[in-house]
Amino acid sequence: AQSVTQPDIHITVSEGASLELRCNYSYGATPYLFWYVQSPGQGLQLLLKYFSGDTLVQGIKGFEAEFKRSQSSFNLRKPSVHWSDAAEYFCAVGGMEYGNKLVFGAGTILRVKS
């Protein structure tokens, strides 16, 4: 069965510092990978997705993620965090073997210190 692990429940970074949020997945075939962001009281917004091709994927709001098959990882990065990036971030995995449904990680809450 597919699963997604986000090892960090909370992360705190200073404004202007770099950010990396970890995501590891377990999936038998080629996964489809997503990162979503949820601001307080809001729904989930798609940041970026990986289906195939270049393993470094660019998303909205200056985020990027790198697919590393050997490490079963899809970590989200941002070179310089802004206070408005404070939110909860969810990694998700999907694939054709599972009817294209998504399995979500438990989420990582990002706090930004000024």
What residue ranges bind other proteins (CB under 8 A)? Answer: 4, 9, 32, 34, 36, 41-46, 49, 51-52, 90, 94-96, 99-102, 104-107
Tell which phi-psi region holds residue 70, choosing left (phi > 0), alpha (psi between -120 and 50) or beta.
Answer: alpha
Tokens at 15, concatenated: 């404004």
**CA 42 to CA 51: how far, in whole Å?**
26
Shortest Cβ distance from residue 114 to other proteins (Å)? Answer: 26
- Residue closer to other proteins (CB basis): 7 or 16: 7
Query: Using CA atoms, how far apart are residues 51 and 34, in angstroms rounded to an integer?
Result: 9
Tokens of residue 40, six digits: 């307080």
The structure tokens listed for 21 are 């949020």
Q: Which one, 36 or 67, has the nearer CB to other proteins?
A: 36
Residue with Cβ nearer other proteins (17 or 46): 46
Give least dist CB 104 to other proteins, A. 4
Identity of the residue, 13 or 47, whose beta carbon is nearer to other proteins in the bound complex: 47
As measured in angstroms, the least distance from the Cβ of 101 to other proteins is 6
Residue pair 35/59 in contact (Cβ under 8 Å)? The answer is: yes
Q: Work out how close the CB of 107 gets to other proteins at its nearest, in angstroms, rounded to a whole number.
A: 6
Look at the block and give the residue holding tokens 């809001």: 42
